[in-house]
Amino acid sequence: MARVLNFDLMGEVQMTHDNQLLPTPALFTEFPFRQAVAVLAPGDLRCTAAQRDSFRRFAQVGDPLADDVVAMIQRLPIGAGRGMFEMAVEGGIDSVPDAPKELRAFFEQVEADPYWLDRDKIDRGARVVGRTSVWGGIAMGMFALMGGYLASRADKTLVGTGDLDAMAPRRLAETTQWWLDVTTIGGLRRNQVGYQSVLRVRLMHALVRAGMNRRPDWDYEAWDHPVNQVLTVGTLGLFSMANLVGAQALGLRFSAEEKDAVFHLWRYVGFLLGIDAEILPTNETDTWRAFWILADTEFIPDDDSRRLAQALIPAAGGLFIGNDTAAQRVIRGAITSYMVAYSRIILGPTNADFLGLPNSKLSQSAVMATAVVNGALEISRQLLPGATRFHENLGARIRARLVRGSIARNGGDRTYARHDTFAASRRHAG
């Protein structure tokens, strides 16, 4: 019999026994998630209360190694700790003279390749993601990012870190830049740009976590620990599973081997991000099962979800084009309408209405037409020798050009150094 954890008011763990499967989350009972789970999910995703609780306890866990590095940064003179971190990111921990124990412990973890790491498989996963091209970018912004806003606990950190309307274009640009960095062939090799970007995001998470922990209004009971492990697993799933599903909704197709390679890539990213091995998804099935629990416990939208969605809408077209001229503004408006229509289709009418997404039937028809055309092109790609590699190379070039253009228009910083103020403020306050 499975064991269920129940917590009394004194925080003591009491053990009961129950192997009953939990009911299907409300998110999975509505269109289109109900159909997507039936067609795309690898088997029965249901879990017991014990399994849910064993996962959910990580909602109270941060990242001890990265949190210790933030404490080190706070202890040292301004700029010194961050400088040593950057030196280790670019040259390895052995390049840092007299590295503090906190920094050494952090890099000893990330520099120790796990036994399961297969770099050839990671490169194959990167080729697959590159093949998604512009469609993967749309899926990333308007399914993964927009859909992620339905997780209201995660939204509390985003709302608390800056002006939503001003930051939305930059946040979208930096998110897609990070996605490009970590899914470029060779990018996750030691000291390459993707590897460096993952470690900098991990430190940024710890800096934000430190800042949120100092907020007197942070509601730990309602919002859990800020930037916790459960939310990080959810973010990983948005970049892996949601991105693939979002691309499939636009007509792209992936073999079982291709999907396995993509999930292996993101497993390594999760390892570098410091996700505990107990909840780090190892494959597609693990990711779907985690998403099942997240759908039940995290994807509960509130007013902050709507605020973030409304800030993202005008920023969406900036992924592709500026707005300096009248012609650009017209084209950008059409692209934005298309992207929002895609988001409305893939998130379903209930979620779309809650988020306040416009309901343009014309743009939705264009999205459906895209899926039909891409589906036909995928048949020829699978049949013609060399076509897959051609699509991978072409898609990767188009994707890189779009993301770099977005960064040029909207700004972006791979170091995320603006979050260092969270570390400095504590020292000054003390």
Distant-in-sequence, close-in-space partners of 299: CB < 8 Å, separation ≥ 6: 25, 27, 150, 151
Inform me whether the pLDDT recorded for 7 exceeds 50. no
DSSP state of 150: T
Each residue's pLDDT tens digit, 196-221? 999 999 999 999 999 999 999 999 99
Give the whole-angstrom CA distance, residue 57 versus residue 225. Answer: 10
Inform me whether the pLDDT recorded for 98 exceeds 80. yes
pLDDT at 16: 47
pLDDT at 64: 97
Question: Which three-class secondary structure state does DSSP give residue 219?
Answer: coil
Each residue's pLDDT tens digit, 308-344? 999 999 999 998 999 999 999 999 999 999 999 999 9
- H-type alpha helices, 214-255: 220-223, 229-237, 243-249
Look at phi and psi of residue 11 and say left if phi exceeds 0, alpha if psi is from -120 to 50, else beta: left
Each residue's pLDDT tens digit, 38-56? 999 998 999 999 999 999 9
pLDDT at 163: 59
Q: E-strand spans in 164-306?
A: none
Inform me whether the pLDDT recorded for 4 exceeds 70. no
Distant-in-sequence, close-in-space partners of 419: CB < 8 Å, separation ≥ 6: 161, 204, 207, 208, 211
Q: What is the mean pLDDT of the chain?
A: 91
Inform me whether the pLDDT recorded for 31 exceeds 70. yes
Give the whole-angstrom CA distance, residue 422 versus residue 207. Answer: 6
Give the whole-angstrom CA distance, residue 361 versus residue 379. Answer: 28
Q: Which secondary structure element, helix H or strand E, spans residue 13, and what is its range? A: strand 13-17
Confidence of residue 425 (pLDDT cuts 50, 70, 90): low
Give the gyration radius of the chain's Cα atoms.
21
Each residue's pLDDT tens digit, 102-140? 999 999 999 999 999 999 999 999 999 999 999 999 999
371-393 b/e (C-beta count within 10 Å ≥ 16 → b): beebeeebeebeeeeeebeebbe
Let me know the angle formed at the C-alpha of 285 by 143 and 259, rounded to the nearest 5 degrees: 65
Reference 29, options 354, 350, 355; nearest CA is: 350
pLDDT at 18: 67
pLDDT at 161: 74
pTM: 0.92
pLDDT at 28: 92
Let me know the angle formed at the C-alpha of 238 by 235 and 239, rounded to the nearest 5 degrees: 95
Specify which residues 13 forms β-bridges with.
Answer: 7
Asked if residue 156 lies in contact with residue 223, where contact means CB atoms within 8 angstroms, the answer is yes
Q: How buried is 428 (Cβ within 10 angstroms: 0-12 exposed, 13-18 middle, 19+ buried)?
A: exposed
pLDDT at 428: 40
Each residue's pLDDT tens digit, 148-184? 999 999 999 888 776 566 788 888 899 999 999 999 9
Instruction: Compute φ and ψ for 15, nearest 5 degrees.
Output: -110, 125
Asked if residue 249 lies in contact with residue 139, where contact means CB atoms within 8 angstroms, the answer is yes
Instruction: For the chain, give percent helix, strand, coil, nearest 5.
Output: 70, 5, 25
Inform me whether the pLDDT recorded for 83 exceeds 70. yes
Give the whole-angstrom CA distance, residue 3 versus residue 18. Answer: 6
Give the whole-angstrom CA distance, residue 77 versus residue 125. Answer: 41
Residue 257 amino acid letter? E
* pLDDT over 70 percentage in the chain: 93
Q: Which secondary structure element, helix H or strand E, spans residue 7, and what is its range? A: strand 3-7
Helix and strand element counts for the chain (H, E): 22, 2
Confidence of residue 420 (pLDDT cuts 50, 70, 90): confident
